[in-house]
Amino acid sequence: MPEQSPIHRCDGMMKRHEKNLALFGGRPVRETMLPYGRQSIQKEDIDAVSDVLSSDWLTTGPKVTEFERIFAKTVQAKEAVAVCNGTAALHTAMFALGIKPGDEVIVPAMTFAASANCVVYLGGKPVFCDVDPETLLIDAEKIQEKISPRTKAIIAVDYAGQPCDYDRISEIAEKHHLPIVDDACHALGGTYKNRPVGSLGLLNTFSFHPVKTITTGEGGMITTDDATLAGRMRLFRNHGITSDHQQREEQGSWFYEMVDLGFNYRLTDIQCALGMSQVKRLPGWISRRQEIARQYNVAFTRIPGIKPLHVRPEVSHAYHLYVIRLDPSLLKEHDRAFIFKALRAEGLGINVHYIPVHLHPFYRTHFGTRPGLCPVAESAYENIISLPMFPRMTDNDVTDVITAVDKVTRSCL
């Protein structure tokens, strides 16, 4: 959905505060751009990768199993299956559940496209469900009306890092004998009623992209307590072949069989070594993200025109994203497009998460989706902005964000 360009006024028509904006030639809050997310790489990460580069195994080696074991323990799951990225994790989860042409899977509208694409890869149909207006998480009460005889699963997305209402979703899922897949790509390190994300769904998927909580460069993981599903996923990530190179090496055998159509979705030992090093710092990184969020929360109570998303009391938010909503009634003639450009000019590498999936041209063309299908998500999209949020941000960085948001929004009042 293309946005209109911001309104440009001649100097004589500008408000006094607008003249101070960097967008109109004023001095920016920051001279260097502060991204919305960024990885943290330390010497111990480099050393861990270097050790693997000097070893006999760069892929399909012992570090893969070791990373899976450590990750499963971290999220209190029995099994973890490493794959090459978060999208592959979702695709692999759908394969494990046996999704096939004609099957329907319920997906929230407010998410990245991969949450729905993984269903399409197997010939299924994503059925888009609207979101709660306060949290932008899937609205559990609206799931029920989306269920049909063709429904085979529910994908719940822990948007921004806040776990969904899994008790209520589980009630609905159990009533209809449906598995829950937790798309937890934003939420590693979070909890729901003291249960860690990664243990909340039948299958739970993660991403290790550089902007996520930990990184392997690119990478993903699926966790489960079901050993049979874990076996199917390990098969799928390795071309549908029953053994990998390490297993054949240990057995002194060359023989293998392809028993299903799979993909090369393997994660390398190099990446797994980085992931194992990173996951050691997970608690500290989550603590820092939550501290940054607290500073934002306090400051934004004093700035009119913006509102952070609601956080429910029963969760520990992992804060992959910090999302604010703009109040169009207070910001008057200025829309999100203007404020986005103005904040970028002040040195904030802000972003928008996300265009509701059903509004993308692919889904409108191939599945007949349209505006009005999920009105809460569509309305929210017009007014949300993701602010910088990553553990390496200093308190001065946080102050710069708050200062820039205050400067830009007050110019619009």
Distance CA 340, CA 250 (A): 56
Bridge partners of residue 221, in order along the sequence: 82, 206
When computed from its CA atoms, the radius of gyration of the chain, rounded to whole angstroms, is 23
H-only helix segments in 140-226: 140-143, 166-175
Per-position DSSP letters for 138-159, written without gaps between them: B-HHHHGGG--TTEEEEEEE-G
H-only helix segments in 16-76: 43-53, 62-74
- Per-residue b or e along 46-66, where b marks 16 or more CB atoms closer than 10 Å to that residue's CB: eebbeebeeeebebbbebbee
Considering the candidates 212, 307, 341, 407, report the single residue annotated as catalytic.
212
Residue 212 designated active-site:
yes
- Strand pairing report for 306-308 and 322-326: antiparallel
The answer to whether 124 and 105 have CB atoms below 8 angstroms apart is: yes
Least Cα distance to 366 among 357, 375, 354 occurs for 357
Q: Which residues are known catalytic residues?
A: 212
